[in-house]
Amino acid sequence: MKLALVRACTRSACFELQNNTCYTAPAPFRVQLNGQTVLEACGTNVFSVFSLEPGKTYHLEVLATDGDTGTLDFATAAESFFVDASRYGLVNDGVTDNTAFLQAALSTCPPGGTVYVPAGTYRTQSLFLCSNTTLYLEKGCTLLGGTDRREYPILPGVLPCADEQHEAYLGGWEGNPLDCFAGLINVINAENVTITGEGCINANADNGDWYQHIKVKLVAWRPRLFFTSKAKNVTLHGVEVCNSFSWTIHPTYSDGVNILQLQIHNRADSPNTDGIDPESCKNVNIIGDSIHVGDDCIALKSGKLFLGTVMHTPCENVTIRNCNLNRGHGGLVIGSEMSGGVKNVVMTQCLMDHTDRGLRIKTRRGRGKNAVIDGLVFRNVEMRHVLTPFVINMFYFCDPDGKSDYVQSHEPLPLDDATPRLGSLTMENITATDAEYAGCWFSGLPEQPVEKVEMNNVSISFAENAGAGHAAMMCGAAECSKLAIWAENVKEIHFHNVKLEGYAGERLNFINVGSFKED
């Protein structure tokens, strides 16, 4: 058995079994540290240990029920100060407002220190973390979001600069620099920040009015549960996060973001509660997470046209591995706010279970010339009862003009500074069972076709009692059921060992496909 250390913090560490299975380990296993059992009957490829001592070397041993074993030596990070937040006056009754007490502990923690929050339920509003600090939430600890939006600060969408030549963009809503409420946990203009432990961050949004009038700006737009802006080296590890106001984990314009073995749970009917949405970030690791939400599980974004033009910051160098994407509108989604571009994304060893769509790309005219999606690789993924496993949609009918002739016309329009582009997409070693609407739906623009779709060792089978529905959110797309392959406006398609079972009608439905090769 091969083991890898994903990340060691001061008092916790995350590990990964190195194999080819999707999310679930080949056999259950137990974990020992320095000869003592600390975990029993683990079943996932990614696992973590907590309550460790800072600056200490440990010998880790994994013993599987099938007889396989593995060992690894690792050291926790050093810690300068231990700050017990309970000394600042915390009240753990779930009613008393602890915002000032918690913020005092976070703000006064010296560099290299850990703010420790013991077991208990602590109601709080927005908290802001400082550079070179760790927030450790003990098992049984819950940070419970307050329900009154008037108690949350507002992050301005635009901050004027003293030299009057530049602006800073802070708050945002769906890809535009707009005033929004601060998140429950915020990391802004900070670096080397870690949030870890076995506790829970519960935004408690379902007990407020956050899910009412969701398309109306009430003073400011809804907050995120966890938000970063212009941060560097941020790790979110181990904790449970739930009941978000809107998007749950939303890092923006940040470098070095590690989202490791989170349990993310929002109600299935909670609006816009995406799981993890990196926006214009680079060097992002999403490893070992379990996501059950009311919208897309993971969505990679880079703003709408204004920010894509001014900032020109793509979402790039993203690794997604050993995640369980359970329920939600899409498993992995690119866009639709992607005007800065998305590139170099690799997803491997993930399980998608009962999501509406699996691998989904959505964009539209008007996203801009910087809206380039390229270098996407989806490898070794298992899909179970995903309604439509693969969707590329360049006619996505979002925004107020989304159903206009400009966005939805299937006649070629002039290429201009508002035209997005899709490059290469590689999908290999993927199994999808019990699909319903369609196996693949690929719709490029007639004036800017998708460059290349390559599928290797892909198997798609349809549920016997499959229902009918819309595979892609675009005008003119009729409901379908058991549709095998739909492709329009694609320059090159290459299939190698692509198997489809249980479909109805023609296997290949092509319009304006330049080159097709199958072997």
Residues labelled catalytic: 295, 329
Identify whether the C-beta of residue 172 lies closer than 8 Å to the C-beta of residue 301.
no
Q: In whole angstroms, what is the distance from residue 47 CA to residue 343 CA? A: 29
DSSP 216-252: S-BSBBPPPSEEEES-EEEEEES-EEES-SS-SEEEE
Give me the phi and psi of 46, to 5 degrees please: -105, 130
C-alpha pair distances (Å), 190 with each of 195, 255, 326, 327, 364 = 13, 11, 32, 33, 34
3-state secondary structure of 375: strand
With 0-12 / 13-18 / 19 or more C-beta atoms within 10 angstroms meaning exposed / middle / buried, residue 409 is middle
CA-based nearest residue to 311, from 373, 234, 227, 254 = 254
CA-based nearest residue to 9, from 79, 83, 77 = 77
C-alpha pair distances (Å), 84 with each of 14, 91, 367, 403, 510 = 23, 13, 48, 54, 63
Paired strand residues for 112:
none
Q: In whole angstroms, what is the distance from residue 381 CA to residue 464 CA? A: 22
